[in-house]
């Protein structure tokens, strides 16, 4: 296991199984109320606004007793027009930031900042590239429900071509040899991605299949992501896809009793609200877990 102290969190792929298990144990402790207070300063630098991710990191840092500084929205922040990312970060490092959370519209920005500064960097999402804390909370939620990953079968459904959550999750699951089913219309399947996901999964020896059929009865976890209308040239094609990838109570007939549904939220209409009261619906719990995972991360990175 690598040491967590002062570690950068740039990509989920940088973390071993034992690193992640350590994080999950720590998250469980935090969730049970067992955590100390850190006398540290965390800079949340959102070069692109994201209310949810900002809110989650902000409460996580404050609950851990950290002082929060930074930029919530680059348009309203008093950033000098055209100021470079480098200069902005340097300013907050100068203010005494002990850790940086970077959300950025340019892919690779968190890695660049981590290389340029000595302060640990947590990637809060860089364009369509990576969003490792999302993948960590997704994996934690599965671990919490099943106590591990052994023998699980996970369906990942929706926009698998452009979405980043699905790919980070797939890398994580592949580490444990979890069987995966990528459920999407061909237009949004993983073989169209420009980041080598499929190639790397094959190199890892991952056990996966691709299908455009919504077959759910043998799954333990169904991970649903949003399908965006903008991705389609043809409106009728979109409507067809939207129809078959919209889930309601009726679509869940015959699924395993213990099957859970996850979604990175916000949802549009891919999950009908009538699912919310079913035991399968774990997406609100998953979102709440984001807070605990981020608290645990700060404790592991900044704690003594």
Partner 1 sequence: MGDLLVNRLKNGIVIDHVVSGKGIHIITLLAEKTAGHRVILLQHAESRKMGTKDLIKLEDVKLEDTDLQFISLFAPNATVNFIENEEVVRKHSVKAPEMVSGLIRCPNARCITNDPGEAEFLVSRLKRVKTGYICDYCEQVWTTKTYPDGWSANKVGV
Minimum distance from CB of 74 to partner 1 (Å)?
13
Active-site annotation holder among 7, 103, 129, 226 = 103
d(CA 47, CA 92): 13
Q: Known catalytic residue: 34?
A: no
- Yes or no: say if 143 and 303 are a contact pair by the CB < 8 Å rule: no
- Yes or no: say if 157 and 123 are a contact pair by the CB < 8 Å rule: no
**Helix pair angle (165-175, 132-146), 10° resolution:** 50
Query: Site for partner 1 (CB under 8 A): which residue of 14, 25, 83, 274?
Result: 83
Q: Which is nearer to partner 1, 161 or 294 (CB)?
A: 161
Query: Site for partner 1 (CB under 8 A): which residue of 33, 36, 82, 147?
Result: 82
CA angle 158, 159, 162 (to 5 degrees): 165
Q: Which is nearer to partner 1, 104 or 181 (CB)?
A: 104
Minimum distance from CB of 88 to partner 1 (Å)?
9
Minimum distance from CB of 270 to partner 1 (Å)?
25
Measured in whole angstroms, the distance separating CA 128 from the mean position of its chain's CA atoms is 12
With binding defined as CB under 8 A, does residue 239 bind partner 1?
Answer: no
Query: Site for partner 1 (CB under 8 A): which residue of 3, 76, 78, 84?
Result: 84
Residues in the chain: 304
With binding defined as CB under 8 A, does residue 194 bind partner 1?
Answer: yes
Helix (H, G, I), strand (E, B) or coil at 266: coil
Active-site annotation holder among 81, 236, 253, 277 = 81
- Yes or no: say if 244 and 216 are a contact pair by the CB < 8 Å rule: no
Query: Site for partner 1 (CB under 8 A): which residue of 2, 65, 96, 105?
Result: 105
Q: Known catalytic residue: 81?
A: yes
With binding defined as CB under 8 A, does residue 284 bind partner 1?
Answer: no
Q: Which is nearer to partner 1, 86 or 284 (CB)?
A: 86
Q: Which is nearer to partner 1, 26 or 193 (CB)?
A: 193
Measured in whole angstroms, the distance separating CA 242 from the mean position of its chain's CA atoms is 23
With binding defined as CB under 8 A, does residue 86 bind partner 1?
Answer: yes
With binding defined as CB under 8 A, does residue 164 bind partner 1?
Answer: no
Helix (H, G, I), strand (E, B) or coil at 99: strand
Minimum distance from CB of 77 to partner 1 (Å)?
15
Stretch that binds partner 1, among 79-87, 131-139, 221-229, 255-263 (CB under 8 A): 79-87
Among 57, 32, 231, 227, CA closest to 132: 57
d(CA 84, CA 100): 16
With binding defined as CB under 8 A, does residue 112 bind partner 1?
Answer: yes
Which strand (E) or helix (H) includes residue 300? helix 283-302
Which strand (E) or helix (H) includes residue 125? strand 121-126
With binding defined as CB under 8 A, does residue 195 bind partner 1?
Answer: yes
With binding defined as CB under 8 A, does residue 265 bind partner 1?
Answer: no
Q: Known catalytic residue: 90?
A: no
Query: Site for partner 1 (CB under 8 A): which residue of 7, 26, 103, 129?
Result: 129
Give the Cβ contact number of residue 164 at 10 Å.
Answer: 23
Per-position DSSP letters for 175-207, written without gaps between them: HTT-EEEEE--GGGSGGG-SS-HHHHHHHTT--
Minimum distance from CB of 127 to partner 1 (Å)?
5
**Residues near partner 1, by CB under 8 A:** 82-87, 104-109, 111-112, 116, 126-129, 194-196, 199
Active site residues: 52-53, 81, 103, 131
């Amino acid at each position: 296991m690598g040491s967590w102290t002062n570690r950068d969190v740039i990509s989920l792929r940088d973390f071993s199984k034992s690193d992640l298990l350590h994080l999950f144990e720590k998250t469980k402790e935090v969730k049970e109320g067992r955590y100390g207070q850190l006398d540290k300063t965390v800079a949340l630098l959102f070069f692109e606004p994201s209310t949810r991710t900002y809110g989650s990191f902000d409460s996580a840092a404050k609950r851990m007793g950290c002082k929060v500084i930074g930029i919530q929205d680059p348009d309203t922040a008093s950033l000098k027009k055209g100021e470079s990312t480098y200069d902005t970060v340097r300013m907050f490092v100068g203010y005494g930031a002990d850790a940086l959370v970077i959300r950025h519209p340019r892919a690779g920005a968190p890695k660049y900042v981590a290389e340029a500064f000595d302060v640990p960097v947590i990637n809060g999402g860089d364009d369509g590239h990576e969003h490792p804390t999302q993948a960590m909370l997704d994996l934690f939620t599965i671990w919490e429900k099943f106590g591990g990953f052994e023998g699980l079968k996970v369906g990942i459904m929706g926009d698998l071509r452009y979405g980043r959550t699905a790919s980070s999750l797939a890398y994580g699951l592949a580490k444990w040899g979890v069987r995966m089913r990528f459920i999407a219309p061909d237009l949004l399947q993983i073989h169209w991605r420009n980041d080598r996901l499929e190639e790397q999964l094959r190199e890892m020896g991952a056990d996966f299949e691709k299908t455009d059929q919504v077959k759910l009865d043998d799954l333990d976890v169904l991970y649903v992501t949003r399908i965006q209308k903008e991705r389609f040239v043809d409106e009728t094609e979109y409507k067809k896809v939207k129809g078959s990838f919209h889930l309601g109570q009726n679509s869940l007939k015959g699924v395993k009793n213990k099957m859970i549904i996850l979604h990175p939220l916000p949802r549009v209409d891919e999950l009908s609200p009538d699912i919310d009261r079913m035991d399968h619906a774990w997406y609100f719990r998953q979102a709440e877990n984001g807070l605990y995972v981020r608290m645990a991360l700060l404790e592991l990175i900044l704690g003594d």
